[in-house]
Amino acid sequence: MNLTLRVWRQKGPKEKGHFETYQVQDVTPEMSFFEALDKVNEELITAGREPIAFDHDCREGICGTCSLTINGQPHGPDEAATGCQLHLRAFKSGDTITIEPFRARAFPVIKDLVIDRSALDRVMTAGGFVSVNTGSAAEANSILVPKDKSDAAMDAAACIGCGACVAACPNASAMLFVSAKVSHFALLPQGKPERDRRVLAMQKQMDLEGFGNCSNESECEAVCPKEIKVCNIARMNREFLRAIFWSKE
């Protein structure tokens, strides 16, 4: 099959970007979408031109590094999948595919399709942890965790921090990401001692990073490759209200 790719090219963070069009010939439906980009890049390098910079690492949907908006959808048209898990069988020969970076003020473009997502790391540093003293591991059964709670915490912890929720949100809000992180601690007994301080610090950092305000559009839930649900956002709202009005923090 043959495809036309319209790719966002931007030399550097301060540079103005634009779209460039590339033809990809003789690719097969079982190839991954990224392999098509690899093919374009090999041809660009052979021709002595600058290859397209795009982020990827595991290429199996677990690291959260890839960050492409494909035909207007962060991670592309597949349900519950990252961009690296997308295959060319999702397209027809002759299709034109538009590729843009995840766009948000908090995610500045570094080059082409590569963005800086350290804003999410700073939110984690602000409170996304449990403080424990080092030493030998505690006896596993000394703190009992109900099955439904541990399942819900695991569902929230499935977040790979890719930032697609921010990219898909009409407001560029990071609420789904932050709420997943807040939730996976808030649901477990180990997270309880620091719950008030944690939610206040993470929400404050989130606002400082310049993300938008959530307006419950649920586009985040629809694009999340790990199917994180917006009920986590409601939980974060509860945690936040609790911390503001009931705690001494």
Partner 1 sequence: MRWLFDFLNSSIGKKVTVGLAGLLLCGFLLTHLAGNLILFAGQAKFNAYAEFLEKNPLLPALEIGLAALFLIHIIVTLYARWQNWQARPVSYEMTVSKGGRTWGSRTMTYTAFLLLGFIILHVATLKYGLATSFTEDEVFQRVMTFLKSPWMAGFYVLTMAGLGLHLSHGFESAFQTLGVNHPKYTPVIKAAGILFAVAVAGTFAVIPLWAYWQGGLK
221 binds partner 1 (CB under 8 A): yes
Our CB check for ligand FES shows the closer of 62 and 90 to be 62
Binding mask 179-208 for partner 1 (x = CB under 8 A): ------------------------xx-xx-
Q: Report the SS3 class of residue 50.
A: coil
DSSP secondary-structure letter at 129?
S
Q: Which of the stretches 48-56, 110-118, 136-144, 221-229 binds partner 1 when contact is defined by CB under 8 A?
A: 221-229
Distance of CA 70 to the CA centre of its chain: 14
Q: Which of the stretches 36-44, 82-90, 151-159, 197-205 binds ligand FES when contact is defined by CB under 6 A?
A: 82-90
In Å, how far are 161, 162, 228, 231, 247 from 55, measured between CA atoms? 14, 11, 22, 30, 41
Least distance CB 245 / ligand FES (angstroms) = 39
Query: Which amino acid, 241?
Result: L
Our CB check for ligand FES shows the closer of 167 and 188 to be 167
Q: Report the SS3 class of residue 204.
A: helix
**26, burial (CB in 10 Å: exposed 0-12, middle 13-18, buried 19+):** exposed
Q: Do 115 and 107 contact (CB within 8 A), yes or no?
A: yes
Return residues touching partner 1 (CB under 8 A): 8, 17, 19, 69, 71-73, 98, 100, 103-106, 109, 168, 170-173, 175, 203-204, 206-207, 210-223, 230-231, 233-238, 240-241, 244
